Amino acid sequence: MQRKLLMQAVIKFLFGIVLVGALLFLPAGTLAYCNGWLLMGILFVPMFLAGIAMLCKNPELLKKRLHAKETEKEQGTVIKLSGLMFLAGFLTAGLGFRFGWYMLPKGVVFAAAAVFLLAYALYAEVLRENTYLSRTVEVQEGQKVIDTGLYAVVRHPMYSATLLLFLSMPLVLGSLYAFPIFLAYPFLIVKRIKNEEAFLEKELKGYREYRQKVKYRLIPFVW
């Protein structure tokens, strides 16, 4: 079982590297796109380390993260639109490098990389706190409401982390033109959260009380 899970994780990891690399370097027309390599590094090195940690300490969580097929129609739409966002954003960044469009200063790029890594750390903490965390909207057997740690601050800390991750991506790539494309993500995630909360309030015992206890969904003191 562990060996099979390892092979599945390795295959999906390598597929991710090839896919992201193709979306960045093919439109750039060269491998000399340093911002692309920077994003690849800060994206996939922590992902590799997190995968090893989950394989050793919580293989069930890794299995849930790998085998994710959304059954909720509205959630599936959000995922597809997010995929289009990444496709358009990465292609725009790569084309911008090829044709010499304005590139953001290195200070902005490195600051964005720091924010990206911070968001990755927050994401890892969410995974540590919530062993029920799945990539799809579902209620698992024996699942309980998590209301400690980051979950005591906002109801969806994983989405808070991804908000920082995805909005910093075009800045790491140095692309001012790709950034407006990624601004679609906050609207998509708000739609996902509203649908998810309606589902959880109906299906997960104690979630209604948790909503009353923790006021903010995504950003403290904002929403």
- Print the domain residue range for 177: 2-213
Domain contains 141: yes
Helix pair angle (59-66, 34-57), 10° resolution: 130
Quick one: pLDDT at residue 25? 98
Per-residue pLDDT of the chain (223 residues; tens, 9 = 90+): 578 888 888 898 999 999 999 999 999 999 999 999 999 999 999 999 888 888 888 787 777 777 666 666 777 788 889 999 999 999 999 999 999 999 999 999 999 999 999 999 998 888 888 876 765 556 666 678 888 889 999 999 999 999 999 999 999 999 999 999 999 999 999 988 988 888 888 888 888 899 999 999 999 989 8
Domain contains 186: yes
Quote the number of domains for the chain: 1
Quick one: pLDDT at residue 131? 73
Quick one: pLDDT at residue 45? 94
Domain contains 17: yes
What is the CATH number for 101? 1.20.120.1630
Domain contains 177: yes
Domain contains 86: yes
Quick one: pLDDT at residue 198? 87
Place of tokens 């090893």: 52
Beta bridge partners of 175: 103
Domain contains 223: no
Provide the CB-side half-sphere exposure for 97 (13 A, CA). Answer: 26
Domain contains 221: no
Domain contains 114: yes
